[in-house]
Amino acid sequence: MASDHQAQVDELLADYRRSRDRLADMQRSLAAVNESVTSSDGLVKATVGAHGTLTDLVIADAAYVRTSPSDLAKLIVRTAAAAATKASETANRTVSPLLPVHTDPAALLAGRADLTPAELAPPARRADDDSFEDVSWMDGGRS
């Protein structure tokens, strides 16, 4: 009987270790996500990581001559957004194999998982709450 119990414990530990190893592999894969997009005119190249963070930006010298500063800024934003979309798609494909069926990888990566907006909202404060936990003494009221 005791050996059966030990065998079950050993199997549970082995399952846990395999799950942790798969999670570590996924985290390494996510950390390695880098997607680049070059604008159609070739003036801007933006590289973005898995979480949408701009990691590199290359602006051709000709961009300063051929475009106004405001148009160049818009081009940079559009190109970075396209790279972020591409990186998000890659990140979604990276985590999907480890998720339960019908789990939205984009929602999970955004920190929402399968929670509804109501579940994500902070709890409502009661009118009779005498707590001073969220009081900011700097601005004279609750924060």
How far is Cα 77 from Cα 79, in angstroms, rounded to an integer? 6
More confident residue, 128 or 22: 22
Task: Determine the 3-state secondary structure of 59 from DSSP.
Answer: strand
pLDDT tens, position by position, 14-58? 999 988 888 888 888 888 999 999 999 999 999 999 888 999 999
User: Structurally, what CATH architecture does the domain formed by 31-112 represent?
Assistant: 2-Layer Sandwich (3.30)
pLDDT tens, position by position, 60-104? 999 999 999 999 999 999 999 999 999 999 988 888 887 777 778
**Residue 123 predicted with pLDDT over 90:** no
Backbone region of residue 87 per phi and psi (left: phi > 0; alpha: psi in -120 to 50; beta: other values):
alpha
Q: Are 82 and 37 in contact (CB under 8 A)?
A: yes
Kindly provide the residue ranges of all beta strands, DSSP E only, lying in the chain, ordered along the sequence: 34-38, 44-49, 54-59, 135-136, 141-142
How far is Cα 80 from Cα 34, in angstroms, rounded to an integer? 12
- For 25-56, the DSSP string reads HHHHHHHT-EEEEE-TTSSEEEEEETTS-EEE
**Residue 137 predicted with pLDDT over 70:** no
More confident residue, 86 or 134: 86
User: Is residue 128 very low, low, confident or very high in pLDDT (cuts 50, 70, 90)?
Assistant: low
pLDDT score for 35: 95
More confident residue, 138 or 37: 37
Report yes or no on whether pTM surpasses 0.85: no
**Residue 106 predicted with pLDDT over 90:** no
- Tokens 């106004």 correspond to what residue? 68
